[in-house]
Chains A and B, each alone.
Chain A
Amino acid sequence: MSEMKKIKNLKEFSTSADRFEGANLLCPGCAHSIIVREVLNATNDDLILAASTGCLEVCTAVYPYTSWDASWIHIGFENGSSAVAGAEAMYKALKTKGRLKQPDRTPKFVAFGGDGATYDIGFQWISGCFERGHNMMYVCLDNEVYANTGGQRSSSTPIGASATTTPAGRVSYGEKRNKKDMMAIMAAHGAPYVAQVAPNKWKDMVAKIQKGFEAEGPVYINAMSACTTEWKFAPEDTIAISDLATDSLVFPLYEIIDGTKLNITYRPKNIIPVRDYLGAQGRFKHLFTKQNEYLIDEWQARIDKQWDYLQRREEASV
């Protein structure tokens, strides 16, 4: 049977089962490592992990070293989902055939990918895995940019962000399109559990990861991952920026159960203006000019509308 942890406090949590080593090459202040640790530490069960090509992958498995004290596989940029799905299929086959080496243990299958690997290049593979109903969790480390390759836009990059392929310039305010709604798309697959999480709200996150591990079938987790390098903030401010993101409702924390039932899981006591979130990051610096300031108002209106929509969904229980 699946074994979930009782977690009392942050100290105990952060120092429990260390299956992701601190010895890795991620940038100081990178939220990826915090998220990965929170996901892995949410269970005592064995883990079979995959990563798509990206920051997490290149920084944690550079031969002859590995940061992973659980079985881990990387193939390419687009197919972390399929890699873990293949391993899960093999687990089922060997279980049927009675060839598992540790038949009484129930490993969990988790794939990690950045937003480039998830929203863009790996989208088809993820969709295939979810449609087929593999018993797996897919965690998107959403930093809204191709960070590993130096900050190119992805379809998760929000309006007005300056990325290296959508730079802000004399006649451009940067990215022109709003980010793709992956949560809705994954819920539309009929997945038993879909949730948005943020590393600063660790109790909320652990609760969701544990729910995800208990669900039967494919689970999608969209994890906001503040990127010190590409969002352009000081490395020590990762959690502060994450707080601005969740408390301004730019990254609302919610879950969708069985493709339809939406619950908001975090309601900030004091909702802060989106302006404060944008203003804390270099990637939005150019919005704070006379020419572009209207975009900040549009941002606020869009976030208000999104929050209103989520609340109405929750109220209507759909």
Chain B
Amino acid sequence: MADTMELRDIEVWDGNMAASHALRQAQVDVVAAYPITPSTPIVENYANFTANGYVDGEFVMTESEHGAMSCCIGAAAAGGRVATATSSQGFALMVETLYSASGMRLPIVLNVVNRALGAPLNVNGDHSDMYLGRDSGWIQLDAYCPQEAYDMNFIAFRVTEDHDVRLPAIVNQDGFMTSHTAQGVKTLSDEVAYKFVGEYKPMNDMLDLDHPVTHGVQTEEDWHFEHKARQQHALMTIVIPKIEAAFADFEKLTGRKYNIVETYNMEDAEVAVVCMGTSVETAREVAVEMREQHGIKAGVIGIRVFRPWPLQQIAAALKDVKAVGLLDRSSPHGAMGTLYNEVSGALFNTDTKAVLTNYIYGLGGRDLTKAHLTAIFKELKANADAGKPTTPLQQYIGLRGPKLSFF
């Protein structure tokens, strides 16, 4: 029996510590992991909990991230609670197995501490890894601060292990900006946290020795399509209501309210930015300043659930806006940014005629400053007034040297 840890009501934790405590409190049965900056402290903290008797599950320190996720898959199929953490190159190494985990409908919680992908090698935060996983069939939640990194893990366990869902879930947080920045985090007691997550209920578990199961079969053109379609059906119709239900229960328990799409000052907003991660908090501050100092009715939309993509919620949140800036923290490598493309897709068949422009920012941990956001909101206001783009469709923000833009 693992020891209970007494926590203060508010602890000063960085995002990694917050995620580590969530895994400990969920009493995960198997954590199989491999260290990589900036998610390493999650694994180290968890190892410390294990070494001091606060964890009675298995902690498997594998030889690679691919091995880590492979072990997680085997463990999840065996029938118990499973979690791990990674970043960047490690996430990229896992990608093959991410598709296996979701295709095999196995509940696993993966903390991704977002970091750039090389080359050039870079250890700092951007969303390249998050975007790399976007077609992998995993649920993707996004935390903007340590408190949310803590809370989203509990939500993730609740949703991924639901027998109607059985799809693995990623909890994203920004490398360093969230993972290594300590803030006050309101805690749950071990007992309350575990009660919220609930007992693990096995399904098709290999360790039920009286009911052997075959996991990871071969299908070709005869059945592959149906399996993938069934997975998409679950993602598109079941997951969002389940997340909403988990959010509602979590609000009852903690008073902290989360939404599929986080809207801020959107009620009467004329212009808005859409972003993820720590940028959401910066943008909210600037949006207030735009109203108070510049007379621009600015709002902010934070994506809380990146997968499944909340197309209808996005369309509803943006329906009365005249200009939207889509802020992508990943190199689109020969295309428009992902948020630009996906928000365009959400609005295209609606009556909304908002002018959409794309800003690429913060690659490899480059800061997104309030000055950058102020300039963006002013450009959006000009677009709103003109009823058409007054700037190139895609611009690079905070880049050294001459301005870089396309289209």
- Chain A interfacial positions (CB closer than 8 Å to B): 46, 48, 50, 57-58, 61-64, 66, 68-76, 78-79, 82-94, 96-97, 99-102, 105, 107, 124-125, 127-128, 131-132
Contact = CB atoms under 8 A, between A and B. Distances in A.
Given A57-B218, A89-B71, 11 more contacts: A46-B209, A48-B78, A61-B214, A72-B214, A75-B216, A83-B73, A85-B71, A86-B75, A87-B77, A89-B74, A131-B63
A86 B73 contact: yes
A75 B70 contact: yes
Bin the interface of chain B by size.
Answer: 35 or more
A70 B208 CA distance: 10
B210 interface: yes
Contacts of A66: 214, 217
Interface of B: 29-30, 32, 56-58, 60-64, 66-67, 70-80, 82, 96-97, 100, 104, 205-210, 212-219, 223, 227
Given A62-B218, A75-B73, A128 B100 contact: no
Nearest to B226: A63
Given A61-B214, A75-B74, A107-B209, A93 B219 contact: no
Contacts of A93: 29-30, 56-58, 75, 80
A74 B106 CA distance: 13
Contacts of A58: 218
Given A75-B97, A124-B67, A87 B212 contact: no
Nearest to B77: A73
B63 A128 contact: yes
A71 B58 contact: no
A128 B207 contact: no
Contact of A86 (B61, B74, B104, B208): B74
Given A75-B100, A76-B100, A90 B218 contact: no
B209 A86 contact: no
Contact of A91 (B207, B214, B215, B227): B207
Q: For the complex of A and B, list the 5 residue pairs with the smallest distance between their C-beta atoms, beginning with the closest.
A: A86-B74, A128-B63, A82-B70, A86-B71, A90-B78
B62 A128 contact: yes
Contacts of A124: 63-64, 67
A211 B75 CA distance: 26
A50 to B, nearest CB: 7
B137 to A, nearest CB: 14
A86 B207 contact: no
Nearest to B103: A75
7 contacts: A73-B77, A85-B60, A86-B78, A89-B30, A90-B75, A90-B79, A93-B56
